[in-house]
Amino acid sequence: MSRQNIYRTAAYVTVFSVAEKTFGFIYRIILSRTLGSEGMGIYQIALSVFAVLATAAASGIPLTVSRLITKYRAKNNLCAQQSVVSAALVCALCFSVPVFSVLFFGHEFFDFLFSDPRCMAVLLILLPSLVFNSVYSVIRGALWGNKQFLPYCIIDLIEELVMIVAGVALVSAMTDVLDGARRAAVAIVLSYLVSFSLSGLWHFLRGGKLKNPKRQFKPLLSSALPITGMRTSNSLINSVISLLLPVRLVAAGSSNSQAMSEIGTAMGMCMPILTIPATLIGSLALVLVPELAENFYRNDHKKMSQNIERALKVTVLIACLLIPVLLAIGKDIGVLLFSSEHGGNIIRNSCLMIMPMSLGMISTSVLNSIGCEKQTCLYFFIGAAATLLCVWFLPHLVGIYALLIGMAASAVLSMLLNLRLIRKKCKERVRFLKHTLCSTAAIVPAAVFGIMLRNVLGSVLPLLPATILCGAVLLAAEGLLLLALGLAQPNWIRLFINKDGKKDKSRAPVRKNASPRFSR
């Protein structure tokens, strides 16, 4: 794709992704208010264990299928592309079907996993989704590799909407917190069933065929296993944290109910806010990963370095726009959305971790797209060790903040190691350090202005209009500051609205070394 097409594609992928995450975020608010912190804790712990299984079943497959299809498409080998999809389906089903059967029919042997038996009741409802999700992951990778982003986005959005509609309808009739958590799990199963059905119909009605997968098992598994290992370990560690953290909080003096409430607040209410940049960065990665893979296989190192540089710079801008807003109104967001001042304090106090989390996420996607899966897997384990150490040793000192400190430490380590490896792998220099330092420095005056503005507006307006007005003014002020410093330019918008993808010759030409022209 040309640079204009990359940006334009990234734009509409972002629109779909933001819409999907916005609906999901609203649903999370509804759930948290309906289930309460204890119900959210039960739901979240069961979901974290299911996430381990879903990740192990197919998490490395979409990226690997995408990269192999890109490779074979560059060689005009259609048969190999179809064989890749067949091999991926066999691998996904060979794991997901036996795991579902063992856990569903022999769950009494695994009751020890949960300190609260209510969590197992929720997990059993979620288990059928394992098979649906593994098949959809393969089709998702095929759509990704063929750069068919529109059906990919539409199916994901429909999946989210089905979960929300079904969840709201079911949870509204709950009788207690366990019943509500189980009903929310049923909504997830229904949504996965819909995405499984739609993706299968789209793939095969559009000419998708299954070919002999024998020759593709080795390249598929050699690439997918490190990614799956890393992501499975991530989900597993999250589950271990979900099981370990309440024990450590109780040891620090909390009751079991208080520990579950703290986890529900941190993981179910605060993390969706702190991971907002992941929505935008994920859209960027979705478009750039097959592009970077193609650059890599064609040995176009100059273009690959340029795409990596733009991705890193845009990621920094996204984080720098959100951090001052959360520093200024994070507490108010917790009160307004979740009726939790404690949750708002956690959001405000933890928002600086957004920068390393964002850079760690995009740099991992970049490295995986150019064949560095084993290195990113190793880096993940280094970061995970830091998280576990914090969760074990810090609850006596900082309570639930032990989790946030651990996640921040992991993100910093992964970010630094990833960026170091990118610098080694790129034959052309990737220039982003100066841009990153300047953008980060701009956070300080923006945050000071935002806090002062919030205090002034809070003295004359009710909470809701004061929060909305402060956030809007602060975002506008940050945008102007970044423009004034030359860290962002507004003329990237033309690339999204010019249908022919060409430059608008009536405008002034853009300098070759200008800053990135898009900021999502």
**Displacement of CA 11 from its chain's centroid (Å):** 17
Q: Helix H segments across 61-128?
A: 61-74, 78-105, 118-126
pLDDT at residue 335, as a whole number: 92
- Full DSSP string of 135-148: HHHHHHHHHHHTT-
Assign 3-class secondary structure to 365-381. HHHHHCCCHHHHHHHHH
What is residue 76's DSSP assignment? T
Question: What's the CA dihedral at 199, 371, 98, 126 to 10 degrees?
Answer: -60
pLDDT at residue 368, as a whole number: 82
pLDDT at residue 388, as a whole number: 92
Measured between its terminal Cα atoms, the distance across the chain in Å is: 19
Q: Alpha-carbon distance 509 to 491, whole Å?
A: 10
How many Cβ atoms sit within 10 Å of the Cβ of residue 483?
14
pLDDT at residue 300, as a whole number: 86
Residues of the chain falling short of pLDDT 50: 492-520
pLDDT at residue 25, as a whole number: 81
Q: Supply angle C-alpha 395, 396, 398, rounded to 5.
A: 60
Q: Alpha-carbon distance 134 to 56, whole Å?
A: 9
20 to 25, 27, 163, 311, 437: CA distances (angstroms): 9, 11, 11, 22, 32
Q: Alpha-carbon distance 327 to 355, whole Å?
A: 13
pLDDT at residue 330, as a whole number: 95
Q: Alpha-carbon distance 417 to 383, whole Å?
A: 10
